[in-house]
Amino acid sequence: MAFLDDKLCTKINGHSLGADAQSGEPLRGDLQEFLGGEILLHQLDDLTKVNPVTLETVLRCLQARYSTDIFYTNAGCTLVALNPFKPVPQLYSPELMKEYHTAPQPQNLKPHIFAVGEQTYRNVKSLIEPVNQSIIVSGESGAGKTWTSRCLMRFYAVVASSPTSWENHNVAERIEQRILNSNPVMEAFGNACTLRNNNSSRFGKFIQLQLNRTQQMTGAAVQTYLLEKTRVACQAPQERNFHIFYQIYKGASADERLQWYLPDGAAFSWLPNPERTLEEDDFEATKEAMLHLGIDTPTQNNIFKVLAGLLHLGNTHFADSEDEALPCQLMDPAEYSVRTYASLLRLPEDALLETLRIRTIWAGRQQQVIRKPCSRAECATRRDCLAKLIYSRLFDWLVAVINSSICADSGTWATFIGLLDVYGFESFPDNSLEQLCINYANEKLQQHFVAHYLRAQQEEYAAEGLEWSFVNYQDNQSCLDLIEGSPISICSLINEECRLNRPSSAAQLQTRIEGALAGSPCLGQNKLSREPSFLVVHYAGPVCYHTAGLVEKNKDPVPPELTTLLQQSQDPLLKVLFPVTPQEKSQEEPSSQSRAPMLTVVSKFKASLEQLLQVLHRTTPHYIRCIKPNSQSQAHTFVRKEVLSQLEACGLVETIHISAAGFPIRVSHRNFVERYQLLRRLRFQVSPGTHSLAPAKGHSEVPPDANEATLQPLLQDILHTLPTLTQAATTGESAKATPAPVHCGRTKVFMTDSTLELLEGGRARVLEQCARCIQDSWRRHVHRKQERQRRAAVLIQAATRSWLTRKHIRRLHTAATIIKRAWQKWRIRMASLAFKELDGVEDKHLFQDADFLSSNPLPPVQTRLLGAIIRLWPLGLVLANSATGVRGFQRKLVVWACLQLPSGRPSSDTLLTAQHDQAGVTSIRALPQGSIKFHCRKSPLRHADICPEPPPYSVTGFNQILLERHRLIQV
């Protein structure tokens, strides 16, 4: 690779690598060892991890990451952003926005502007003082500040608009769309193509993204600083005017060209380099964005018509008059331009020419009006002043329209996130008042960074009593004193020249500045310059400013007749831009006795800059340093010399030194004790090879009104646990643990990231132990509760079953009683019917059975059983025919009882004929006489004709029993 050149090991761009700037010790061996692992440089996400930290090593790390298309790198509290000079869509996709927004710890992801944006958004949500956040995007022109601000706005529009209803969703979408559409409009009217950047911001802007109490974006506000309005009438070689003029010239339709008098191929003096085609020349995108901001199509046409008129005004050229008493004459093509300009802006042509060529002077106490023809140079100046006045008013009106469209009411938002996008440090061959103001603003922002991080951090270490060797950093306070100091400075001398009622001389102004400020170390002389100038050594390098025209630009004079002329216009837009007020009417006749002090450009810019810094001081700042790899805007090109000068200018190495060697984590004593007092619960049991932590008893909580004397013992107890925590966290090491790098100041505890991780790990272990204790107690409680519920359920079930059993038995007892009573009634009735039918035969048969039994006695048990069966034969008859009747031997006994037959052996269940026995009953009514055949008559008894036994028994009814005489033969 190119950056492995051995020559760089000894010298890069005049910077020797032989010794460190701080220690003076040779670093060649260390650098060779470091460069041996240079293949891993692109994996270093933080420049504080580079060892040793020098400009050269930081440069190599950035170059290695840039060659692998990694454009963002952390540098302590600052994010370094390299401009890729090529589209990288996947680097700013919505999916990547969501990834950084939903990450538990975005700082653990790769460095990105979305990580900075998410950190600011979470700081607003956590309400850590100061709640309001600001992101300061700095860098040279062309480093990518505008693109960075645009991506951050898109990120906030996505993550800070999470509505909960469709109504809020529509409002959020409208706000998001308008905030995003404000960018193309402001870039079209405020950006231009310069030598260093095709889309250079020619104004500074501070965008305030307004959030409500639920951290949803409800609106935004834009504040602008120092528009470079001189670019409308004067462009440097190889540079262009504002983008909007080229958009109109290239994107207008045929009808619009006829309406605005812009024929194809027309040449305009204020439209240089029209052949260059840039992606910013998108006229349709600008019109669509203006439409979303509430600027309707007729108003847009009116705006573009006025801008087309300014192009025609630029073609108005004057010729010297032969007679000084007569006004300058117009050149031949200029007459058409004046006529077209007057038609487009609806101005009277005669009044326009008179205002441009004749100056009105009020002289004497009587305020005598003197009309004096202007010279050719004065006519051109008044023409340019008229164009700058219209364009600046139009730009301010657009900003006001954007704010009215996107700004929320003061009661609907509570916090804000500010995005500061200012012009970068500039140094051109010809530098005037604009570059002086731009570089002055960059000096103030650099001082804000120095005061916030570098100096404040080291002074805090000293105030807290820490042993700290101060890092030498570049303090630009002397340069600020030269520019804005009191009582004498460059700004005060320029303003004084403006207040003096005399013609200003460039050489005289140079002499005054060099004489009054000769003792300043930041003021120098450019001996090679042929024109009067002075040299200012800024933090980013020396810049030579020409004094010619400096005072006139600072005055920014606007002849009152120009304003009066524009107030006579019938154009609706110009009537809004130049309203006629009673105050202006009273100022038409100025009075020398009541002349107000002159408000110069420097004074107004200084006041607005001070107001901006006051806002920044009340916020938590975040810094993004944009670096331009090359001045040709070419991709995959890394020019070491240019990048190295930018690293030196922004004080990046000093930042890395302090971040790496200092203590980036600082916590007040109370907050430290409140968060880490859990570590006092631990009882450390350290044995060889094992480390266990167990909770201890008897700890005390921090009282809410505890003072420093009360917090000190608790603080020391916590700090004493750090060595054991270090030993417990380091497994497999028998060496004695070294104390963690932490220092206790007077009011704060200072520590490194490793110490913070150690404390958080111990705190997590304590919380885990407490969680386990809580889980064990809860599970034991739940188990006991379930056991009690189970025993109670068993008792309830037993009682319920007992009650149901008793209830069932009572029902059975009641049913049995009812059946018994019904049976007794039925038995009496059946007995009565049987007695009537048998007419005593049963008694005779019973007597015969009795004789038979007496002659053949049975065992007592069978006798009792037979008697019971004889008495209960009807019940047996019923049960024998029921579905749940008895079976087997018991059934046979029941059948025998129903037939009222004497019992024999179980196998003797057949009926024999009457020939083996004595004569028996042969008739119901009378004894049979000989062989008589009886006819069967149905018995009145219910179920009497139903056989109690299924076949093979031949007895099929109770009537057959009565028709034949038979006896039971015992076998």
141 annotated binding-site participant: yes
- Following CA atoms 53, 56, 59, 64 in sequence, which dihedral angle do they give, to the nearest 10 degrees? -90
182 annotated binding-site participant: no
Structure tokens, 320: 């010297």
Residues for the chain: how many in total?
A: 971
> Do residues 543 and 435 touch, judged by C-beta distance below 8 A?
yes
Nearest to residue 662, comparing CAs of 456, 468, 448, 463?
Answer: 468
The dihedral through the CA atoms of 31, 35, 40, 43 has a sign that is positive
465 annotated binding-site participant: no
904 annotated binding-site participant: no
For residue 633, give the DSSP letter.
Answer: -
Structure tokens, 443: 């000096």
Tell me the C-alpha distance between 56 and 27, whole Å: 11
146 annotated binding-site participant: yes
> Do residues 495 and 470 touch, judged by C-beta distance below 8 A?
no
Tell me the C-alpha distance between 728 and 689, whole Å: 10
> Do residues 454 and 623 touch, judged by C-beta distance below 8 A?
no
Tell me the C-alpha distance between 760 and 764, whole Å: 6
For residue 158, give the DSSP letter.
Answer: H
Tell me the C-alpha distance between 323 and 460, whole Å: 72
Give the strand pairing for 133-139 and 415-421. Answer: parallel
Nearest to residue 359, comparing CAs of 345, 377, 373, 346?
Answer: 373
Identify residue 297 by its one-letter amino acid code. Answer: T
Residue 368 pairs in a beta bridge with: 363
Structure tokens, 860: 């007592």
Tell me the C-alpha distance between 62 and 83, whole Å: 12
Residue 210 pairs in a beta bridge with: 219, 416
768 annotated binding-site participant: no
For residue 740, give the DSSP letter.
Answer: P
List Cα–Cα distances, 162 to 118, 128, 433, 743, 755, in angstroms: 15, 22, 45, 42, 37
DSSP string, 708-735: HHHHHHHHHHHHHTHHHHHHHHSTT--S
Tell me the C-alpha distance between 426 and 142, whole Å: 10
145 annotated binding-site participant: yes
Burial (CB < 10 A; 0-12, 13-18, 19+), residue 336, is: middle
DSSP string, 52-85: S--HHHHHHHHHHHHHTT--EEEETTEEEEE--S
Burial (CB < 10 A; 0-12, 13-18, 19+), residue 547, is: buried
For residue 952, is the peptide bond before it cis, meaning its omega torsion is within 30 degrees of 0? yes
Nearest to residue 517, comparing CAs of 549, 545, 498?
Answer: 545
Burial (CB < 10 A; 0-12, 13-18, 19+), residue 735, is: exposed
Structure tokens, 790: 């189970």
% helix, strand, coil for the chain, step of 5: 50, 10, 35
Give the side-chain half-sphere CA count within 13 A for 608: 21
**Phi, psi values for residue 931, rounded to 5°:** -90, 105
Structure tokens, 434: 């604009």
Tell me the C-alpha distance between 329 and 334, whole Å: 10
Nearest to residue 38, comparing CAs of 18, 13, 8, 15?
Answer: 8
Identify residue 549 by its one-letter amino acid code. Answer: G
Q: Is 642 in a helix, a strand, or coil?
A: helix
142 annotated binding-site participant: yes
Which residues fall in the annotated binding site for ATP? 139-146
- Known binding-site residue numbers: 139-146
